[in-house]
Chains A and B, each alone.
Chain A
Amino acid sequence: NAGVMQNPRHLVRRRGQEARLRCSPMKGHSHVYWYRQLPEEGLKFMVYLQKENIIDESGMPKERFSAEFPKEGPSILRIQQVVRGDSAAYFCASSPGTVLEQYFGPGTRLTVT
């Protein structure tokens, strides 16, 4: 059973460009979570999605960030007009439905130049 997959693993964007991060959950998992890890900080929750629904986006910045988990295909975290402060590691986790079992992917390291 393949684990959570994220791509790209590394992404470099210039200020003002768009970043798209993709996450494929583990087989059989219908719950997806996105977290961000800033240098010298812990993991911070961003958004929780189920297929075609955003359940909790309380950790998402109000502007420029959006997330989706369509009926078909991976979950996408989209950051528009990136700024240097968006440079971080972005992790996706998936769960079969219980908060106790969130399995993380390898992350996407976003660098904004």
Chain B
Amino acid sequence: QKEVEQDPGPLSVPEGAIVSLNCTYSNSAFQYFMWYRQYSRKGPELLMYTYSSGNKEDGRFTAQVDKSSKYISLFIRDSQPSDSATYLCAMSADNQGGKLIFGQGTELSVKP
């Protein structure tokens, strides 16, 4: 079993839709949670990060962490064609010295 599971998609939605992206994990020691966006043949771009549980909002993006369920989510409101990319969740724990464990990534396509 992988430490971090993420549905690879592809996920296709119409422009303006609310997108929900999710990851589950097995390591209860994870405390740091990040979401990255990666366009084709580019480097991952840090979107949001949270420490421990709770919600965090930044513009059209909201990140949620539910440690009791070992489940994290990224919501994108009013999705745009420019949001079409692969979204990667990443996690780490205090005893992992900065090493990020990534999900496989979900490919998102927002259709005009």
Pairs A–B under 8 Å by Cβ, sample size 29: A33-B98, A33-B99, A42-B6, A42-B88, A42-B103, A43-B88, A43-B100, A44-B102, A45-B101, A48-B97, A48-B98, A55-B97, A55-B98, A56-B97, A56-B99, A58-B99, A59-B99, A95-B98, A99-B92, A99-B96, A102-B34, A102-B46, A102-B98, A103-B46, A104-B36, A104-B43, A104-B46, A105-B43, A106-B42
Q: Which of B44, B99, B103, B105 contacts A45, CB < 8 Å?
A: B99
Q: What class of interface size applies to chain B in its complex with A?
A: 20 to 34
Question: Which residue of the partner chain A has the closest CB to B92?
Answer: A99
In the assembled complex, which residues on chain B have CB atoms less than 8 Å from the CB atom of A55? 97-98
Task: Say whether chain A's binding surface is mostly helix, strand, loop, or mixed.
Answer: strand
Residues of A within 8 A of B98 (CB): 31, 33, 48, 55-56, 95, 99, 102
For the complex formed, measure the closest distance between the CB of B52 and the CB atoms of chain A, giving whole angstroms: 11
**For A35, what are the chain B residues with a Cβ–Cβ distance below 8 Å?**
100, 102
Q: Is the CB of B43 within 8 A of A42?
A: no
A25 at the interface (CB under 8 A from B): no
Chain B residues within 8 Å of A, Cβ to Cβ: 6, 32, 34, 36, 41-46, 49, 51, 88, 90, 92, 96-105
Q: How far is the CB of A112 from chain B (nearest CB, A)?
A: 18
Interchain residue pairs A-B with the least CB separation, the first 8: A104-B43, A43-B102, A100-B49, A42-B104, A42-B102, A99-B98, A45-B99, A106-B43
